[in-house]
Structure 1
Amino acid sequence: MGIFEDDSEPSFERWLVERLKGPAPGIRWEAERWTRVLRDGGPRSLPRREGTVWLYLNRVRPALLEWSDRYDHLREVIRDDVRTYIKTLHGHQRRDQLVALRSLFSWAKRNGLLFRNPTSRIKVGQYEYGVLQPLVPAQVGRSVAAATTPATRLILALAAVHAARVAQIGMLMLDDVDLGNRRLTIAGRVRPLDDLPLKLLLDWLEHRRNRWPSTANLHLLINNQTATRTSRASNHWISASMRGQDATLERLRVDRQLEEALTHGPDPLHLAEVFGLDEKTAMRYADSARALLEQATEHSASPSGKELGPN
């Protein structure tokens, strides 16, 4: 009726006031303007998701608090201040905070709040990834046991056998299935269907036909909500059955690609061809497989370098 006036304060405003307590007034004002531009966008920037805005402000806040002990405005911060601060950080913490600081100072430079960007020419550096570890059979077994419906069993197989992402699973169409030639097209790449995935696919198609015989939705995976529409199933619904498991759909996807690298050798070109990975991702899987194979070789050898024989 247009008679209700919602005068409650948005949660973002309360959070922003709380997170900006502590910095000097001038720095606080500049950081608030930058945060609002991140959220709302500007003439030369697109709005970010609220979760991203929270991360960025949380990452720059420790530096702003430290510099507020001796400075009143961002323009007083020099390059040596930034370098001295990030020397205390390591790994992903250093990278994440430096990325956020570069965003803040780049915005301040564009808007005339300072004459020189103190983060310029400070390299973020390449992120040091750890060695990917394969899942153990017990972890996979618990996820298999949690897949109790035709849909969840097919979803698990698509992630564990074909290394399909959640979004790719949700976007699959009925036309992507070629039962006669035992093929499935995932994200534009044709994958052969082995016996188990084929059986699970046939079980799902039969269930789908019996449960929603008149649906006009052409997506392969549908549910009670999407059967009456033409939209795809949500990522939340697709991954719900594996949520809380050690072997989530994402972990199963990673494990499948790592298994390929361990079985066929740490060849990034082969991985890129099979799974459509970019160069850096394929190299990461190859490096992890190489490290795991080297560890296995070391463990199977005696201290003298000779392989251990039977007892």
Structure 2
Amino acid sequence: MELELRHLRTVRAIADAGSLTRAATALGLAQPALSAQLKRIERALGGALFVRGRHGVRATALGELVLERSRIVLPAVTELQREAARFARAPGTARHLRLGGTHGPLLGALVDRLADVAPDARMTTCTSWSERDLAGQLAEGRLDFALAGTCGSASPPGAEGLVWQEVAVDPVFVMVPAGHPLADRAEVDLTELAGEEWACVPGDGCFGDCFTASCARAGFTPRRMYETDTASLVHLVQVGRAVGLCRATFPTTPGIVTRPLTGTPLAWRHLLGWHAVTQGRGTAATVLAQARMAHAGVAASSDSYTEWMAAHRVP
């Protein structure tokens, strides 16, 4: 593993918090995930950075060296981001918008809308199933804006200087093959799927835990969960190997129907993120407005979602 700026920020956060538990809370991570990340950083640097004690953690000699260097490197990178932002806004400079996002149709819809409002801008995209990876790329200046998401009301991925704004909240639907016994239902109760195997696209938030908890409340434990890319998920559902979990905006796909779950036990909150230093308020407001309109367009193209919104009186 190569050392990255986000790793230095993680080390700084642990030192500032004085304990892994407090640092994990500040970063919006589970403590086991932060501990695993610290071990990877320590392996990359060749030794332990902290010693754990009853009252928290303290830096080792190597840890002090890394912290000292980070106090120089991180402010320098922040200043570089400011300089780059000023350069990008200078008259005569062609704007290059670097957009990131997780799986789903929203990123493409946003690019389409931005192409209309900024016809001279060059746009590139980067996709990742990891919300934390997207947050890291924003923090390091490798992305201008990122579409990520959280399960329900969970906190957005944390990184210093990032701003997250809500685009929309979708119910989580279930995908079943067109010939499935429940395919003609207006909605499906989770208990009716107790005997199924499942498929979803992986993430590093709490969605998996929330799904398991919802199944437990329904009185069963999921038989198996396939975590895979979107194309493989679609295939597993089409051939009847599994039922899938998807956002309500999932596009119409041959051989598959999407149905809401009774009581909406799971929800997905779409977020747009950017770095407060590198993005001006006007640009951020424009991209956020376009993201919200892009979501409305994607939602309107889904028959099952529009029916759900009408039934629940969502404007």
TM range (shorter): under 0.3
TM-score (norm 1): 0.26
Of structures 1 and 2, the one scoring higher in RCO (CA 8 A, sep 6+) is 2
